[in-house]
Amino acid sequence: MTSHPTSSHPRAAIILAAGQGTRMKSPLPKVLHPVGGRAMLDHAIDAAEALHCERIVVVVGAHSPEVRDHVVKRLGEDAIAVQDPPLGTGHAVRAAEAVLGDFVGQVVITYGDVPLLRAADIEPVFADHEGVTVIGFEARDPGAYGRLVTRDGELLAITEAKEASPEVLAITACNSGVMAAPVGLLFELLGEVKNDNAKGEYYLTDVVELARERGEPTRAVFASEDSVMGVNAQSELAQAEALFQKVQRDAFLAAGVTMPAPDTVHFAWDTEVGGGTHIEPFVVFGPGAKVAPGARIRSFSHIEGATVATGAEVGPYARLRPGAALGEKVKIGNFVEVKNVKMAAGAKANHLAYLGDGEVGAKANIGAGTIFCNYDGFFKHRTVVGEGAFVGSNTSLVAPVTIGAGAMVGSGSVITSDVAPGDLALARAPQTAKTGWAAKFMDMMRAKKAAKG
């Protein structure tokens, strides 16, 4: 048996993301399709980082510059390996060899289209610092999966279904494709893999047989079937999303979040909701939503990139966009949109308003139909509403503008200048009345209609 020192056993990850994903039938590369509002590839990178991998290499295809750009933006150019042309999984892993350079330690191979696999699922592959370890799963329907032939925890073989005997086909332990080994051993074995098969490809699974021939230990550890689910088509993407959402919902329910209809609530990968919060049916959380304990999120609301403090109420039919920050006991009512506005404790916007770019002081009231006119066609500007101010219904606040503390704005106003604290601002045409005009007009029109009829 060859010795493959691993020093203090540092870790690296190779993430395979070079597949063309033609079955997705989408212009978006497969691994960039989102689950829980996050690209599947990012879920794989998250898992590698949570495992404390000091090196992460993503193998991309020459056909997907978008995937390369995505990886470079997150991990840098040094994380890129290119498989060109695509000649199988073994060939893809070998593409990462030069990028890993002088790394010494254990390497785990994962996949950019397996979004539900978490660090805790992968961790057991590092328990043995010698030989080859693969992750298997007990399949509900083994079908065409490769079977793991094991004995007392030892992995004897990975057998493809089309090559399996009836006895092997009866095995329900299947191969996930995830594998770990010391880096030196891994690439030595891959150097021996042949492509004498119908597709002319180099298969990563051949590494197990080659390791056994050399007397290296081979073993299997197991994860749940759902966690190792791969996504190759839109139907599988929807299935992965459903599984992801179930995990999120169960976790929030266990943490004390009230959801009368949890199956109708949609969470993102990073949603934070404190215990004691009440979430009504049909609420969507996009990325970056943080809700403190004891808030109430009412039906048909959408929250993304926003924070909601204790005691605040949102909705129904409200939209919080990135930068919205609601203080304690703030009320955002139906058909109100808030974007990049900080609302201090007790402030209210109960109906039909757009608040964009600014701040609203404590206990200020924003009337129905109010608009923060924040964009002049070229630049964004801020609106500031002071503490205790009252903005009447159907008001346009043309930014940049400040409404002072305790000031009032009359309904139907278009405010283009600052309003001093305590002042009343009216910006509308004076009302006039023409005595009897309406009655005379209606009589005339009725007579015309009667004559015409």
Q: Which are the contacts of 316, defined by CB distance < 8 A and separation ≥ 6?
A: 280, 298, 299, 300, 301, 334
Report how far apart, in Å, the C-alpha atoms of 196 and of each of 189, 200, 214, 232, 315 are: 16, 6, 20, 26, 62
3-class secondary-structure state, position 445: helix
Q: Are 333 and 351 in contact (CB under 8 A)?
A: yes
Closest CA relative to residue 330, chosen from 300, 362, 372, 304: 362
Mean per-residue pLDDT for 303-311? 98
**Other Cβ atoms within 10 Å of 130 Cβ, number:** 17
* Banded model confidence at residue 3, pLDDT cuts 50, 70, 90: very low
Q: What is the pTM of this model?
A: 0.90
- State pLDDT tens for residues 184-206: 999 999 999 998 877 888 889 99
Answer whether residue 164 shows pLDDT above 90: no
Mean per-residue pLDDT for 109-118? 97
State the average pLDDT for the chain: 94
Q: Which amino acid is at 294?
A: G
Q: Which are the contacts of 114, defined by CB distance < 8 A and separation ≥ 6?
A: 40, 44, 176, 177, 178, 228, 229, 230, 231
- The pair phi, psi for residue 42, each rounded to 5°, is -65, -35
245: left (phi over 0), alpha (psi -120 to 50) or beta: alpha
Q: Are 202 and 90 in contact (CB under 8 A)?
A: yes
- Per-residue pLDDT at 69: 97
> Is the CATH number of domain 261-425 3.10.290.10?
no
Q: What is the length of the chain?
A: 453
Catalytic sites, residue numbers: 351
- State pLDDT tens for residues 54-97: 999 999 999 889 999 999 999 999 999 999 988 899 999 999 99
State the DSSP string of 272-312: EE-TT-EE-SS-EE-TT-EE-TT-EE-TT-EE-S-EE-TT-
Per domain, the residue ranges of the chain are: 11-222, 261-425
* Banded model confidence at residue 6, pLDDT cuts 50, 70, 90: very low
If one compares 157 and 320, the residue with the highest pLDDT of the two is 320
- Per-residue pLDDT at 8: 60
Least confident of 190-194, 333-337, 372-376: 190-194
User: What is the CATH T-level fold of the domain 11-222, as seen in this structure?
Assistant: Spore Coat Polysaccharide Biosynthesis Protein SpsA; Chain A (3.90.550)
Answer whether residue 1 shows pLDDT above 80: no
Answer whether residue 330 shows pLDDT above 80: yes
Mean per-residue pLDDT for 364-381? 97
- The pair phi, psi for residue 395, each rounded to 5°, is -110, 140
If one compares 43 and 158, the residue with the highest pLDDT of the two is 43
- Per-residue pLDDT at 213: 92
- Per-residue pLDDT at 228: 97
If one compares 2 and 81, the residue with the highest pLDDT of the two is 81
- State pLDDT tens for residues 338-354: 999 999 999 999 999 99
